[in-house]
Amino acid sequence: MKYEKNQYSEGFSICALIIAGAFLYWGINSFINWGDGFEWWGFISTGIGIAILLSQIFAITNRSKLRNVVLSEFQENPEATVDDISKSTGITQKDIQAIILDLKASGQLRGKFNTTTGQIKHLSIPEKEVPAEERAKYCSNCGTPITKDAAQFCSYCGAQI
């Protein structure tokens, strides 16, 4: 993954999607109105629209990769500062701070930063995958906890366990 400066905070733009839509509309509309003659401008504007659209899709996928990199850095070094992660990954501090806010908003990262040292404290990263023992304790249909070990049907929805 190639990283460019401030790519996370400045890489994706709704305005670029609107411009891509305008180019695509202009290009596709010139194909539909072929009555008076063939216009090559339709291919050019469609190509520009597709290129802008693909760059925005790449920006979205790259944002999730950057979030995973920062999250794994916090998992490996639970007392890291933003500066430490910036030095170890090469991601700018501005982007790391934006990623931390997004991770906290989505619930993937919980914790507070020390106001004097800048280190994260009380770090809590929720587990993504539920262990097999835990899955067996909940109904696969409605999610209700199964309290009896010998239960063969869910007490809430009646689904077979």
pLDDT band, very low/low/confident/very high, at 94 (cuts 50, 70, 90): confident
State residue 20's pLDDT score: 92
Topology (CATH) of 7-124: Arc Repressor Mutant, subunit A (1.10.10)
Distance from the Cα of residue 49 to its chain's centroid: 24
In terms of average pLDDT, the best of 28-32, 34-38, 73-77, 127-131 is 73-77
Q: Name the amino acid, one letter, at 89.
A: T
What's the confidence (pLDDT) of residue 4? 58
Reported as a single tens digit per residue, the pLDDT across 122-145 is 676 665 554 545 445 777 666 678
How buried is 44 (Cβ within 10 angstroms: 0-12 exposed, 13-18 middle, 19+ buried)? middle
Rounded to an integer, the average pLDDT of 94-106 is 86
Domain range list for the chain: 7-124, 129-161
Least confident of 53-57, 104-108, 109-113: 109-113
> 114 pLDDT band (50/70/90 cuts)?
confident
**Phi and psi at residue 36, to the nearest 5°:** -90, -10
